[in-house]
Structure 1
Amino acid sequence: MNISVELTFSPLQDDFENHIINFIKNLRASGLTILENPLSTQVFGEYVKVMQVLNMEIETAFELMDKGLLFMKIVKSDRSNYEPHF
């Protein structure tokens, strides 16, 4: 089963940029399909693999910062090729 995940990672501290950059670089290194925009990072792939990677990378990111939050949306389908029809 393929999924699409949208993540908005927000460290709540002054040095937030490095935490976000490291989180995204680690996701890129996973071999999953990653799309980025100014507001979120999207991850696409097989459910078990995506969730394994996210579990590990979210835990690592949370351990490296004092305070933060992560918004996550999961869609049951691979939306990586989505194009608007209007």
Structure 2
Amino acid sequence: MNISVELTFSPLQDDFEEHIINFIKKLRNSGLTVLENPLSTQVYGEYDAVMKVLHQEIKIAFELMDKGLLSMKLVKSDRSDYEPHF
């Protein structure tokens, strides 16, 4: 089963940029399809593979910062080829 995940990662501390960049770089190197925009990062792939990577990388990211927030939306389908029609 393929899924699409939208992540918004917000470290609540002064050095937030470093944490966001490191998190996105690790997702890019995971072998999954990763797309970014200024407000969020989308990850696409097979459910077990995506969740395995997210489980590991979210834990590492949280351990490296004092306070943070991560919002996640999951969709049961691969929406990586979505193009708006308006």
TM bucket normalised to smaller: over 0.9
Q: Deviations over 1:6-26 (max 9, x none)?
A: 000000000000000000000
Q: Match for residue 74 of structure 1?
A: 74
Taking structure 1 as the reference length, the TM-score comes to 0.99
Identical positions, percent? 83
Q: Match for residue 4 of structure 1?
A: 4
Taking structure 2 as the reference length, the TM-score comes to 0.99
- For residues 85 and 17 of structure 1, the distance between their equivalents in structure 2, rounded to whole angstroms, comes to 33
Q: Deviations over 1:31-67 (max 9, x none)?
A: 0000000000000000000000000000000000000
Query: What code does the residue aligned with 1:48 have?
Result: D
Question: Where do 5+ consecutive residues of structure 2 fail to align?
Answer: none
SS of the counterpart of 1:13?
coil
- For residues 51 and 42 of structure 2, the distance between their equivalents in structure 1, rounded to whole angstroms, comes to 13
- For residues 41 and 85 of structure 1, the distance between their equivalents in structure 2, rounded to whole angstroms, comes to 21
Q: CA RMSD in A?
A: 0.3
**Runs of at least 4 residues off by over 6 Å:** none
Following superposition of structure 1 onto structure 2, how do residues 35-74 of structure 1 map, counting pairs within 5 Å?
Answer: 35-74=35-74
Aligned length: 86
SS of the counterpart of 2:44?
strand
